[in-house]
Amino acid sequence: MQALYAKGGELATAAVAAQTQKNISPVAGHQILSSISSAQMMVSSALGHMADGHRQLEALGRRLGIDVSSFGDVLKPPQSVVVPAVLEPAARRA
């Protein structure tokens, strides 16, 4: 997502450079820049939502007693951290 955000910045820079180098009216390029800016805002919002999701997962992991700092993209948690009673629907536990 960060790379996408960076590419959006490059695209906006290129659009403005093309506009000024070709003496295109700012009014003509406004719609393009507006669309690029809107896309950048959406990517920024998505990054924020991803960060919120990670914070929620961290809180859930702590409630389940999982050391959330010990697992990453390349490490798999040990099987003992999965608590079936927590993951099963309430109807099955009754």
**Residue range 8-27, pLDDT digits in tens:** 999 999 988 988 888 888 78
State which amino acid sits at residue 85.
A
Q: What is the pLDDT of residues 29-50, one digit of tens each?
A: 788 889 999 999 999 999 999 9
pTM: 0.59
Please enumerate, as own/partner, the contacts of 15-20 that have beta carbons within 8 Å and a separation of 24 or more: none
Do 66 and 83 touch, CB atoms closer than 8 A? Answer: no
Q: Which residues contact 68 (CB under 8 A, 6 or more apart)?
A: 57, 58, 61, 62
